[in-house]
Amino acid sequence: MHENERHRIILSFVEEKPVATVSELVALTESSEATIRRDIATLHMQKKLRRVRGGAESINPPQFVGLAGRTYSVNEGINVSKKRAIANAAVQLCDDGDAIIINGGTTTSQMVHPLAAKRMQIFTNSFPIAEHLLNHSKNTIMLSGGIIYREQNIILSPFENDVTRNFYAKRMFMGAQGICAQGLMEADPLIIQAEEKLINQSEELIVLADSSKFKVRSSLILCALERITKIITDDSIRDEDRTMLEDAGVDLIIAKETAQMQQVAG
Amino acid sequence: MHENERHRIILSFVEEKPVATVSELVALTESSEATIRRDIATLHMQKKLRRVRGGAESINPPQFVGLAGRTYSVNEGINVSKKRAIANAAVQLCDDGDAIIINGGTTTSQMVHPLAAKRMQIFTNSFPIAEHLLNHSKNTIMLSGGIIYREQNIILSPFENDVTRNFYAKRMFMGAQGICAQGLMEADPLIIQAEEKLINQSEELIVLADSSKFKVRSSLILCALERITKIITDDSIRDEDRTMLEDAGVDLIIAKETAQMQQVAG
DNA sequence: ATTATTATGATCATTTATGATTGTTTTTGA
DNA sequence: TCAAAAACAATCATAAATGATCATAATAAT
Domain ranges of chain A: 3-58, 70-264
- Ordered DSSP codes for B48-99: SEEEETTEEEESS-S---STT-GGGHHHHTTTHHHHHHHHHHHHTT--TT-E
pLDDT at residue B257 in the model: 73
Which contiguous run of DSSP H or E holds residue B216?
none
Model confidence at A198, pLDDT cuts 50, 70, 90, reads very high
| Confidence check: pLDDT of B70 > 50 | no
| Confidence check: pLDDT of A19 > 80 | yes
Model confidence at A259, pLDDT cuts 50, 70, 90, reads very low
> What does the alpha-carbon distance between residue A162 and residue A158 come to, in Å, rounded to a whole number?
9
Chain A residues closer than 8 Å to B15 by CB: none
Please check whether residue A59 is in contact with residue A20, taking contact to mean a CB–CB distance below 8 angstroms: no
Mean pLDDT of all residues belonging to chain B = 88
| Confidence check: pLDDT of A206 > 60 | yes
Chain B residues closer than 8 Å to A15 by CB: 119
* A58 bridge partner residues: A49
B98 Cβ under 8 Å from any chain A Cβ: no
Looking at chain A, how many residues does it have? 266
The whole model's pTM is what?
A: 0.89
Please report how many Cα atoms fall inside a 13 Å half-sphere around the Cα of residue B35, on the Cβ side. Answer: 17
> What does the alpha-carbon distance between residue B12 and residue B133 come to, in Å, rounded to a whole number?
8
**Chain A residues 34-73, Cβ below 7 A from strand C:** 34-35, 38, 53
> What does the alpha-carbon distance between residue A210 and residue A88 come to, in Å, rounded to a whole number?
13
pLDDT at residue B82 in the model: 86
Edge-to-edge strand ranges of the sheet holding A178-180: A178-180, A183-186, A220-223
B155 Cβ under 8 Å from any chain A Cβ: yes
pLDDT at residue A60 in the model: 74
Please check whether residue A140 is in contact with residue A122, taking contact to mean a CB–CB distance below 8 angstroms: yes
| Confidence check: pLDDT of B264 > 80 | no
Mean pLDDT of all residues belonging to chain A = 88
How far in angstroms lies nucleotide C29's C1' from the CA of residue B264? Answer: 20
- The residue type at A147: I
| Confidence check: pLDDT of A260 > 50 | no
pLDDT at residue A79 in the model: 72
For chain B, the first-to-last Cα distance in angstroms comes to 27
What is the average per-residue pLDDT within B220-226?
94
> What does the alpha-carbon distance between residue B77 and residue B88 come to, in Å, rounded to a whole number?
17
Cβ-Cβ contacts under 8 Å for A84 (sequence gap 6 or more): A110, A113
Please check whether residue A57 is in contact with residue B41, taking contact to mean a CB–CB distance below 8 angstroms: no
Please state the separation of Cα B260 from the chain's center in Å: 19
Please check whether residue B117 is in contact with residue B91, taking contact to mean a CB–CB distance below 8 angstroms: no
A25 Cβ under 8 Å from any chain B Cβ: no
Angstrom CA distances, A134 to A84, A124, B36, B163, B227, stand at 20, 12, 34, 22, 35
Looking at chain B, how many residues does it have? 266
| B74 vs B231, residue with greater confidence | B231
* Weakest mean pLDDT among A59-68, A138-147, A210-219: A59-68
Please state the separation of Cα A22 from the chain's center in Å: 37
| Confidence check: pLDDT of B141 > 60 | yes
Say whether the CB atom of A27 is under 7 angstroms from strand D: no
Is B70-265 CATH 3.40.50.1360?
yes
Burial B119-135 (b: 16+ CB within 10 A, else e): bbbbbbbbbbbbbbbbb
Helices (H) and strands (E) in chain A, counts: 10, 16
Model confidence at B63, pLDDT cuts 50, 70, 90, reads very low
A139 Cβ under 8 Å from any chain B Cβ: no
* A171 bridge partner residues: A100, A204
pLDDT at residue A67 in the model: 58
> What does the alpha-carbon distance between residue A5 and residue A46 come to, in Å, rounded to a whole number?
16
Is A3-58 CATH 1.10.10.10?
yes
Say whether the CB atom of A53 is under 7 angstroms from strand D: yes
SS3 B155: strand
pLDDT at residue B222 in the model: 94
| B94 vs B262, residue with greater confidence | B94
Model confidence at A74, pLDDT cuts 50, 70, 90, reads very low
> Which nucleotide is at minimal CA–C1' distance from B2?
C17
Spell out where chain A has E strands: 20-21, 49-52, 55-58, 99-102, 121-124, 140-143, 146-149, 154-156, 169-174, 178-180, 183-186, 202-208, 220-223, 230-233, 251-255, 261-264
What is the average per-residue pLDDT within B138-163?
92
> What does the alpha-carbon distance between residue A196 and residue A137 come to, in Å, rounded to a whole number?
28
Please state the separation of Cα A122 from the chain's center in Å: 17
Alpha helix stretches (DSSP H) within A119-213: 127-136, 189-198
Closest chain A residue by Cα to residue B137 = A63
The correct CATH number of A70-264 out of 3.40.309.10, 3.40.50.1360, 2.60.40.1940, 3.90.800.10 is 3.40.50.1360
> What does the alpha-carbon distance between residue B178 and residue A101 come to, in Å, rounded to a whole number?
39
Please state the separation of Cα A96 from the chain's center in Å: 26
Please report how many Cα atoms fall inside a 13 Å half-sphere around the Cα of residue B188, on the Cβ side. Answer: 13
